[in-house]
Amino acid sequence: MLRLSRLTDYAVVALVRLGRSDGVATTPGIAAAIGIPEPTVAKVLKALTCAGLVLSTRGAHGGYRLSRPLAGISIAEVIVAIDGPIALTSCVDGAVGCESQSLCPMAGRWDPVNSAIRDALTNITLADMEDAAIPRAFRVAAPVPVNEEI
């Protein structure tokens, strides 16, 4: 299925959410807003902090905020932050442990594929996804339309 982890999906939602809140946002706040259990959101945000995509402030009145605008964050970065390096097979570049590495006829075979995927993902930013996410016909050049009922 070539699927990435659900956590990455959550990360994108959380990031877009952060892009809409002006100040800092707390874990419970984000969790409630996007309908994902709080500890899971915390886990995702922790990973994003480590990757430098969001900045955290500890203590009371703390929370998270974006380190860059959404347009400056590529999907590839999010995936790497949550899922680890982008490589379709476990048998990547310098990876050791491929049991039949010597006679493995596909050594290096996937490299061009990996590169192609990486390129594709690097060229899509969170801002692009935010645009694509709104299925309604309402969308009219609003820069940050926080149109979420409920």
| Smallest distance, a second copy to C-beta of residue 149, A | 9
Total of residues contacting DNA (CB under 7 A): 29
Q: b or e along 20-33 (b: 16 or more beta carbons within 10 Å of the residue's beta carbon)?
A: ebeebbbbebbbeb
- The answer to whether residue 136 forms part of the interface with DNA (CB under 7 A) is no
Does the protein bind a second copy through residue 123 (CB under 8 A)? yes
b/e 128-141 (16+ beta carbons within 10 angstroms → b) = ebbeeeeeeeeeee
Q: Tokens 């596909």 label which residue?
A: 106
Among 12, 17, 18, 63, binds DNA (CB under 7 A): 63
Contact track, a second copy, 10-49, x by CB under 8 A:
--xx--xx----------------xx--------------
- The pair of three-digit structure tokens given for residue 8, joined into one six-digit string: 């990455």
Q: How many angstroms separate the CA atoms of 78 and 9, rounded?
A: 9
Binding site for a second copy (CB under 8 A): 1-6, 9, 12-13, 16-17, 34-35, 75, 79, 83-91, 100, 103-113, 116-117, 119-121, 123-124, 128-130, 132-133, 135, 146, 148, 150
